[in-house]
Chains A and B, each alone.
Chain A
Amino acid sequence: MNQQKYIEDLKDIKEMMNKSSKFISLSGLSGISAGIVALIGAYFAWITIYSQTGYQDFDRTLLDIGQLIQLLTIAFVTLLLAVSFGLFFTRLKTKKLKQKVWDSQSKTLLINLLIPLLSGGVFCLLLLLKGYIGLIAPLTLLFYGLALVNASKYTISEIRSLGILEILLGLTATYFVGYGLIFWCIGFGLLHIIYGIIMEIKYKS
Chain B
Amino acid sequence: MKELLKDLNKAFENRIRLGIMSALVVNDYLDFNALKNLLGVTDGNLASHLKSLEKSEYIRVQKEFLDRKPNTKYSASDEGKLAFIKHIKAIEQLLK
Contact = CB atoms under 8 A, between A and B. Distances in A.
A16 interface: yes
A6 B30 CA distance: 26
5 contacts: A3-B95, A10-B92, A13-B88, A21-B26, A104-B34
Interface SS majority for chain B: helix
Interface residues of A, number: 16
Given A7-B95, A21-B27, A12 B22 contact: yes
Interface string A1-37: 0010011011011101101110000000000000000
A13 B30 contact: no
Nearest to B39: A16
A164 B37 CA distance: 34
For A14, A19, A103, the residue with the greatest tally of chain B CB atoms inside 10 Å of its CB is A19
Interface of A: 3, 6-7, 9-10, 12-14, 16-17, 19-21, 100, 103-104
Contacts of B88: 10, 13
B23 interface: yes
Interface of B: 15, 18-19, 22-23, 25-27, 30, 34, 37-38, 88, 91-92, 94-95
Contacts of B18: 9, 12-13, 16
A87 to B, nearest CB: 20
B15 A12 contact: yes
A118 B25 CA distance: 31
A20 B95 contact: no
Contacts of A20: 22-23, 26-27, 30, 34, 38
